Every structure is written in C-alpha cells, then in structure tokens.
C-alpha cells in the first residue's frame, strides 16, 4: 500500500517544539486532506485542499498550519502544541467526488 505515504510514522515533541508532518500521494489525485484521529473524536476533518487551494478549515487552532505546495504533497506544520493534541494524524487524497485513500498516519505524542 504505497499510494499515500506519510512521514514520520511516529513523533514525540515538546510543547515548545516546531515540527512538520509530510504526506505524499502517488495516485494522481487532485484533493488532499488532513484528519485527526483520537479516542474522543475518531475521525475529525481538519483541512481540505482541492486543486492546491484550501477549501475548508474546520476551526482548527492556529498552532496547526497546513501547506500544499503541489497536488502530490501536503504538510502539516506544528507549533507550540498542547498535550491534548496527541493523536494519530491521517492524510488522505482523492479525485474530487470520489473515494478517499488514507495514508498510514503519524502517531504524535506531545509531552
């Protein structure tokens, strides 16, 4: 399953750190997504990029900053996170209006 890849797979960071999550899709899709998965909210849509433009930001705190430099790459920049931000962050991609394919996720722990 190499259509959507994410790095790193695991990340431990302190509250004052700055880190970035990376997602790459090799499926020729034109939309990419960030989801947060935790015990409290199993699959929570964070950001959507369609044709490289952000189309939705579900009231996500500004300490999460997405970047989509092209249709194949998506980043999530993290800055001064809180322990409650610890979760699995999943990236997905799709052709507009069709099935979303998920990456393996990054397991983030904020100390």
What is the DSSP annotation of the chain? --SEEEE-SEEEE-TT-EEEEEEEE-S--SEEEEEEE-SSSSSEEEEEEETTEEEEE-S--TTEEEEEEETTEEEEEEES--GGG-EEEEEEEESTTS--EE---EEEEE-
**Interface residues toward another protein, by CB under 8 A:** 1, 31, 33, 41-45, 48, 50, 55-56, 90, 94, 96-105
CB closer to another protein out of 33 and 64: 33
Residue 85: which of 77, 93, 97 has the closest Cα? Answer: 77
Comparison of 80 and 100: residue with beta carbon closer to another protein: 100
> Please, what is the minimum distance in Å from the beta carbon of residue 45 to another protein?
6
Q: For another protein, which is the closer residue by CB, 64 or 102?
A: 102
Q: How far is the CB of 50 from another protein (least distance, A)?
A: 6
Between residues 44 and 80, which has the closer beta carbon with respect to another protein?
Answer: 44
- Measured from the CB of residue 55, what is the shortest distance to another protein in angstroms? 5
């Amino acid at each position: 399953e190499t259509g959507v890849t994410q790095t790193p797979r695991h990340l431990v960071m302190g509250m004052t750190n700055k880190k970035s999550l990376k997602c790459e899709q090799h499926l020729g899709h034109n939309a990419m997504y960030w989801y947060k998965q935790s015990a409290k909210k199993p699959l929570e849509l964070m950001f959507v990029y369609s044709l490289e433009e952000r189309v939705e930001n579900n009231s996500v705190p500004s300490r999460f900053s997405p970047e989509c430099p092209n249709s194949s790459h998506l980043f999530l920049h993290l800055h001064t996170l809180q322990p409650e931000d610890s979760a699995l962050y999943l990236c997905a991609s799709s052709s507009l209006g069709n099935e979303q394919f998920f990456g393996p996720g990054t397991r983030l722990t904020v100390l």
